Amino acid sequence: MVPQGLTVGRLFQKEREEKNVSLETVARETRISLAFLKAIEEDAYQLIPAETYVRGFIRSYAKLLRLNAEEILDLYRHQAEPAGPQLEDRNGATNGHLKQIKNHVFDFLTTMAGGTPAYSLPKSVLPPKD
């Protein structure tokens, strides 16, 4: 059972400190970067490239601390739910639109670094060169 009033990040930090486990140990055991673990403990999920990574990292972190991963993910979903209508930035773009742009930039950078994109690229619409 997850204690009331704690966020996912504070819960992880509390449990980790009670078990006397360093953040560096968590990073080494889970193979999650130290920067992402700090972002999770600070509930700064926007610093993690995509929602899929956030959920996977939470699941791995919970398993390492021997916590119920599904309960922690439910707490995260509840915590991450928008409280009301999406806020708009100064240019009128919504949070969802900004997140979509961030994900495309991440895919582009991953591809440029020699990785594979998270989606298949369409065939070229240009005629073949002679």
Mention every residue, 6+ apart, whose C-beta is less than 8 A from residue 64.
Answer: 26, 29, 30
Task: Please state, for a pLDDT cut of 90, what percent of the chain lies above it.
Answer: 50
| Residue 6 confidence (pLDDT) | 87
Predicted local distance difference test score (pLDDT) of residue 123: 55
Structure tokens at 69: 């991963």
d(CA 43, CA 6) in angstroms, rounded, equals 11
Q: Dig out the tokens for 85 from the structure.
A: 């209508």
Closest CA to 55 of 1, 63, 110: 63
Write out pLDDT tens, residues 31-65.
999 999 999 999 999 999 898 999 999 999 999 99
- Split at pLDDT 50, 70, 90, the class of 8 is very high
The CATH code of the domain at 8-79+102-112 is 1.10.260.40
Q: pTM of this prediction?
A: 0.61
Quote the CA–CA distance of 12 and 40 in Å, as a whole number. 8
pLDDT averaged over every residue in the chain? 79
pLDDT per residue as tens digits for the range 69-95: 999 999 999 888 765 444 554 555 556
Domain residue extents for the chain: 8-79+102-112
